[in-house]
Amino acid sequence: MNTLPSTPSFRLDGKRALVTGAGRGIGLAAAAALAQAGADVTLVARTASEIESAANEIRQAGGKASAAPLDVTDIEAVRAFVSTAEPFDILVNNAGSNRPAFMVDVTVEDFDAIFQLNVRSAFFVAQAVVRRLIEAKKPGSIIHMSSQMGHVGGPRRTVYCATKAAIEGLTKAMGVELGPHGIRVNALAPTFIETPMTRPFFADEAFKRSVLDKIKLGRLGQVEDLMGAIVFLASDASALMTGTSLIVDGGWTAE
């Protein structure tokens, strides 16, 4: 008689996934990872050509993907799109931005823009997806893209840190509230990852050195470093995880 337990599946066959900010960087990697695990992925971003090209690449590689040009700051457009689509089993709430500045120099315009995208839009995209899941009486996995900066502070990142701390709090509260519906909510908190958004920062050698001094594994993160974590959080492999944060930071927050 076989009494060995079986590892829960990391496969996502038959699941529908929505990824925001999917045209490049972490969002594109998330879409690719979910598609490679068998999910049917809808890529969302403002730039239609970018996500159409990405979806096409995923299909050429044998995956299932479609593009939905959408500005996630337009909450009514988001609601209209999600409410008329089949429910999404997985959301990677990834659209976000930063405008680094010393706290004393932050403008109201920059503060509002970063909060609007990183917190307000993330909240209402998740709300739209969750409403559909509850209507359909389906379980699901919501993955908020947080940051190590939701756990620690950093110079010239007061507003960004505040938005990511908000995402960490949102993750906990949603996890508590949605557990009875079988909807899991977790955050993924990476260190600095080399992407089109962060690459200009690393042109400053002093900044790059300061970052590498804090990453104990001695290198910048690559988008591939997050792909396994995204599939893990989306799949049955993490079935008992909700309301928490998975920190992929090369050891930055360990001291």
The residues carrying an active-site annotation are: 160
Helix (H) or strand (E) holding 186: strand 183-190
CA-based nearest residue to 232, from 33, 69, 24 = 33
| Ordered alpha helix ranges (H), 96-139 | 108-115, 122-135
CA-based nearest residue to 27, from 233, 223, 159 = 223
Phi/psi class of residue 4: alpha, beta or left (left: φ > 0; alpha: ψ in -120 to 50)? beta
- Which tokens hold the place of 9? 């599946």
CA-based nearest residue to 197, from 19, 18, 21 = 21
Which residues contact residue 47 at a Cβ distance below 8 angstroms, ignoring those fewer than 6 apart?
A: 23, 69
Backbone angles phi, psi at 43, to 5 degrees: -95, 130
Instruction: Report in angstroms the alpha-carbon separations of 199 from 156, 202, 222, 251.
Output: 16, 5, 11, 21
- Which tokens hold the place of 55? 């979806």
The answer to whether the beta carbons of residues 75 and 124 sit under 8 Å apart is yes
